[in-house]
């Protein structure tokens, strides 16, 4: 689990840096319009949001409670896999090294 935690933490740090870069240097509307004007830009966004939706299904399953699930899913749709990396890292930290608890979250207590 140490390797997985490291990957999640590195992903979180990389995403934090690149999001800061994008928001401070980029122009979201102008660049987003260019991206949506290209077929592969559309393909990339659909691919990305399918991934967000699938990852969000795991979050909803793990959380069991509605409010935390909704908050995490909204963050996932807005901040992308930065949220995924954060959620994964927190899930690993709170699982106590137990993979079943990591994957099933509050449902592992069943």
Q: What does each of the 110 residues of the chain score in pLDDT, given as a tens digit?
A: 899 999 999 999 999 999 999 999 999 899 999 999 999 999 999 999 999 999 999 999 999 899 999 999 999 999 999 999 999 999 999 999 899 999 999 887 75
Decide: 88 and 23 in contact? Cβ < 8 Å.
no
- Output the pLDDT for position 26: 93
- Which H/E stretch holds residue 91? helix 81-94
Question: Residue 82: CB partners within 8 Å, gap ≥ 6?
Answer: 12, 15, 16, 19
- Output the pLDDT for position 64: 84
For the chain, the domain total comes to 1
Domain that holds residue 41: 2-109
d(CA 63, CA 58): 9
């Amino acid at each position: 689990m140490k390797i997985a935690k490291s990957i999640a933490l590195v992903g979180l740090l990389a995403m934090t840096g690149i999001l800061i870069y994008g928001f401070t240097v980029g122009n979201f509307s102008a660049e987003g319009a260019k991206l949506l004007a290209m077929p592969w830009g559309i393909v990339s966004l659909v691919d990305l949001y399918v991934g967000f939706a699938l990852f969000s299904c795991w979050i909803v399953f793990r959380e069991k409670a509605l409010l935390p699930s909704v908050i995490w899913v909204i963050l996932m749709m807005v901040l992308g896999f930065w949220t995924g990396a954060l959620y994964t890292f927190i899930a690993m930290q709170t699982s106590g090294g137990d993979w079943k608890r990591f994957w099933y979250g509050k449902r592992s207590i069943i």
